[in-house]
Amino acid sequence: MHETAVIGLGYVGLPLCLQFARSGGGTLGLDIDPAKVAALGRGERYIAHIASADIKAQVEGGRLRVSTDFTELRSASAIIVCVPTPLNRNRGPDLTYVLATAEAIAPLLQRGSLVVLESTTYPGTTDGEFRGTLERISGLEAGVDFHLAFSPEGEDPGNPESDLRRMPKRVGGFTPECTAKACALYARVVKQVVPVSSCRVAEAAKLLENIFHSVNIALVNELKLV
């Protein structure tokens, strides 16, 4: 086991995948969409602010490989989940993709590996439903047999000056050792890692950030009418 695997190659997962590839370690990108995987294999972009040349350089250099085959997770020492959490009909988070990904990871989970959830969700998801699914199927225990953490995504897709390396990365683990493992992973690709006391604190911090942005955008929209 030596690779870092990123599951979900959208506007969050793909830049993260490329950043890990640039850091020099073996990186595996996984997605259930064969069209995305095929495009990346050809060195082509499907997200406007990501350069095709960057993708091509990492793929052709052997630092990044992409696949739809989740059995390749057996070679991963760290697994980062960046799948969508859309809103359901009641405007609550839909965990369908998150829990389906946990079900796919669990049979392949190796002792000593690290699993990090980045998908925006409510406090208690990582150490609740997500952990429960991983443990139930794998037969392994979080914090004992494998490490578990939450680190909210920090992409800023509307900002052309956005640089993933310069964005502080908050990390909260299920145990202090889990936090340390996840911090060490992200320290390879970002300049500042900010450890917090738990998965739930990291989850709440992301929601606070989103709420702050939403309230301020709403205020500016109202003032625009004035």
Q: So what's the pLDDT on residue 49?
A: 83
| Mean pLDDT within 201-216 | 94
Separation between Cα atoms, residue 116 and residue 28, nearest integer Å: 15
Separation between Cα atoms, residue 48 and residue 85, nearest integer Å: 22
Residues near 75 by beta carbon (within 8 Å), at least 6 away in sequence:
1, 2, 3, 28
For residue 139, give the nearest of 113, 116, 106 by alpha carbon.
Answer: 106
pLDDT class of 145 with cuts at 50, 70, 90: very high
Domain span at 161: 3-225
Q: So what's the pLDDT on residue 158?
A: 63
Query: Residue 20: phi, psi to the nearest 5?
Result: -65, -40
pLDDT, tens only, 69-89:
999 999 899 999 999 999 888
Domain tally, the chain: 1
Q: So what's the pLDDT on residue 207?
A: 93
Separation between Cα atoms, residue 203 and residue 80, nearest integer Å: 15
Q: So what's the pLDDT on residue 24?
A: 84
Q: So what's the pLDDT on residue 161?
A: 63
What's at 28, amino acid-wise? Answer: L
What's the order of all strands across the beta sheet hosting 76-81? 64-67, 27-30, 3-7, 76-81, 114-117, 147-150, 169-173, 193-196
Which of 39-53, 72-86, 190-204 bottoms out in mean pLDDT, i.e. has the lowest?
39-53
Structure tokens at 223: 């003032």
CATH for 67: 3.40.50.720
Separation between Cα atoms, residue 105 and residue 134, nearest integer Å: 7
For residue 77, give the nearest of 104, 106, 109 by alpha carbon.
Answer: 109
Residue 1 pLDDT > 60: no
CA distances in angstroms from 219 to 30, 135, 222, listed in the order given: 39, 44, 5
Q: So what's the pLDDT on residue 193?
A: 97
